[in-house]
Amino acid sequence: MKLFFSPSTSGFYSTDLHDSMPADAVQITAARRRSLLEGQAQGRKIIVGADGHPMLQRPSSSTLTHKRLLRSQEVKRAAALRIDAISPLWRQCNDLRAPSAAGDGRFAAIDAIRAASDAIEKQIERMTGAELEALDIGGHPAWKEAE
């Protein structure tokens, strides 16, 4: 079986599945096809290089959508650190196996952090580029409400 990529259709072709293919199709390896599809699943775009072969392009970090995504990822990391400080995963597992008032308190605190994280992310969805740059994720008031 031979694999091909066609720049004109942005599609993959296989000699096992296709009797004919576009004239501009270039042969690629199975590993390259897998790499391209994995990159696409991670938000990259498959484009055609100067040699006619497919390659991955990173999304532009200058788009507002991408800036929002990056800031939301920062919120998730901040929430994860706060949750881990209250109750690392091993403790959460123990609290699930042996429920207690202390464990209930830790889970309530984790729920409050998650609610704060969700609230901050909802704000990020509506922010302008300038607002995103000025956003102090670590000092956001929603975290204080979660304490």
The pLDDT value recorded for residue 143 is 95
Residue 27: CB partners within 8 Å, gap ≥ 6? Answer: 2, 3, 4
123 token code pair:
């704000």
Share of the chain above pLDDT 70, in %: 97
> Is the model's pLDDT at 62 over the cut of 80?
no
DSSP string, 100-122: -HHHHHHHHHHHHHHHHHHHHHH
DSSP single-letter state for residue 57: E
DSSP 53: -
Q: What is the mean pLDDT of residues 67-75?
A: 91
Query: 40: pLDDT confidence band, cut at 50, 70 and 90?
Result: confident
Over residues 40-60, the mean pLDDT reads: 84
- Residue pLDDT, tens place only, 75-134: 999 999 999 999 999 999 999 999 999 999 999 999 999 999 999 999 999 999 899 999
The average confidence (pLDDT) of the chain is 91
pLDDT at 75: 95
- Banded model confidence at residue 60, pLDDT cuts 50, 70, 90: low
* Separation of CA 49 from chain center: 25
- Say what the pLDDT of residue 61 is: 61
